[in-house]
Amino acid sequence: VHRLDRPVSGVMVFGKTSKGASRLSEQIRAHSIEKEYHALVHGSLQKSSGTLIHFLKRDANKKKTFVVDEGVSGAEYAELLYEVVEKRGSYSLLRVILHTGRHHQIRTQLSHIGHPIVGDIKYGSAEARGKEEGLALVATRLSFDKATGNERVEVCLPRDLWGL
């Protein structure tokens, strides 16, 4: 019912039935599914936490998304929250919570503020990771309402499986 960029790993949700998938898709459209990621980025952020708000526009020909000014035709509002979990030499491990789900949103916004994700050559990382490793970006938690009732479900990926 949702997607991850090809080089991103982590938690996914699938609907067992078409009715269940439809209800989960509605939660995605209503932004009621909570999505949490962890990313290893270059550098040390000035603030230990913050909100990033930008307008993003996808360039289908370049298969890349860019930060643009508000009012640019086709630009979409994008918002995420980040928190520095720990610093590792010249890297920072961030917890990221998406409030919107735009194409390459986390990758674009973090790169725009000067902290590209490790291994993300497309968005400014100076170093590549192995093909099996992908980007240093992992979907670590999803929280949503069960399609069959009002029960909230939380799916978490244990930290030892993050690969960061």
Q: Work out the average pLDDT over 71-79.
A: 95
pLDDT at 63 over 70: yes
For 78-106, how does the pLDDT look when each residue is reduced to its tens digit (9 = 90+)? 999 999 999 989 999 999 999 998 999 99
Q: Work out the average pLDDT over 50-55.
A: 98
Active site residue 59: no
pLDDT score recorded for residue 38: 96
Of 5, 59, 120, 145, the active-site residue reads 5
How far apart, in whole angstroms, are the C-alpha atoms of residue 118 and residue 127?
A: 7
Q: Work out the average pLDDT over 31-46.
A: 91
Q: Work out the average pLDDT over 128-148.
A: 83
pLDDT score recorded for residue 123: 92
Q: Work out the average pLDDT over 113-132.
A: 87
pLDDT score recorded for residue 106: 96
Of 151 and 134, the structure prediction assigns the larger pLDDT to: 151
How far apart, in whole angstroms, are the C-alpha atoms of residue 144 and residue 14?
A: 12
Q: pTM for the complete prediction?
A: 0.88
